[in-house]
Amino acid sequence: MPYLTRRATLGAGLATLAAPHIGRASDLSGVILRVATYRGQDQTLLPAAGQANTPYKVEYHEFSGGQLIVEAMDAGALDFGSWSEIPTTFAAAAGERVKVVAILQGDVNDQVVLVPKASPARSIADLKGKRVAYVRGTTSHYYLLKMLWQAGLQFSDIQAINLSPTDGAAAFRAGDLDAWAIYGYAINFALADGQARVLRTAQGILSGNYHIGVAPPVLTNPALRAATADYLGRVAKSYAWLEANKNTWCSVLAPVIHVPLPFVQAQFFHESQPDKLIPVDDAAIVSAQAVADTFNKAGLLPKPVNVAPYFDRSFSQAIA
């Protein structure tokens, strides 16, 4: 079905969603919403925020990365999930079947380039010829590319080493790396060892946008649409609760993800922007297209891609 025709069909679907009987618990009691989550995300956050009493069954599946979620959704194994802007680029390049229906705005201070504390490097330009680890196809890949270009360097000007966060941590501790582009709590652990310092954060490069996506069948199945609309509303309320109850949330989260409480508190109390769920808008699509254009310029895509058809705005009211 042509995209514009499909959009018109979605508009008709919204009218159905607005009907009073769709939202009743009795109508959704037989629905199973298959949700991808990361450890310590929805499956922990919604109960903590008092939003887990859904009138449908939520079946959680834990993943370690956004690209894996997109692939599982494309294969028909998931209905709902989230990822950074990067998997959307590769989904568009591969023609994978996903739709981005909301934007989660989050922190970018937990995305950095680390160097050993005694390193003479004072800028990204100083990494020329150096051993720099990153995680391919992730935000660290993207912001490292952009930082190098801003410094007048190419990816080929460094010894780029693709390592998982766990392997990167081991290599960094062993002194086998000159720099490490990494994200999340790995930063806290590295800094706590006293052997690392932040060379640069991704502030000013990353948008902080994370994509909330669904499988296309969700858009055409009235019961799944209704459950998804309700679930998005609960996610929005949960993040609003988180921002108002950070101490409580950190205490809940720390034992779940096995990270010391001070590290968790450091992350949530020093955010570049509050965690907030917002509807898809023009700015989000422009930002995602810029990411796609960057990877295309770097020669990592088979051809230029247009990400706009991968976004759907029909759940905006549920989020608001």
Q: What is the pLDDT of residue 10?
A: 30
Same domain for 222 and 101?
yes
Domain termination site, one of 201, 230, 250: 201
Closest C-alpha to 145, from 123, 136, 288, 261? 136
Handedness of CA 226, 227, 233, 236 (dihedral sign): negative
Same domain for 157 and 220?
no
Distance of CA 165 to the CA centre of its chain: 16
The enclosing domain of 228 has a CATH number of 3.40.190.10
Q: What is the pLDDT of residue 13?
A: 34
Same domain for 75 and 163?
no
Q: What is the pLDDT of residue 270?
A: 84
* Structure token digits, residue 312: 């759907």
Domain that holds residue 307: 3-106+208-319
Does the pTM of the predicted model rise above 0.85?
Answer: yes
Residue 103 CA to residue 111 CA, distance in Å, equals 18
Same domain for 240 and 265?
yes
Same domain for 12 and 73?
yes
Sequence-ordered strand ranges (E) for the chain? 32-37, 57-62, 80-84, 99-105, 111-116, 131-134, 159-162, 179-183, 196-201, 209-214, 276-279
**DSSP per-residue codes, 70-124:** HHHHHTTS-SEEEEEHHHHHHHHHHT---EEEEEEE--STTEEEEEETT----SG
When divided into structural domains, the chain yields a total of 2
**Residues of the chain with confidence (pLDDT) below 70:** 1-26
Per-residue pLDDT tens for 221-247? 999 999 999 999 999 999 999 999 999
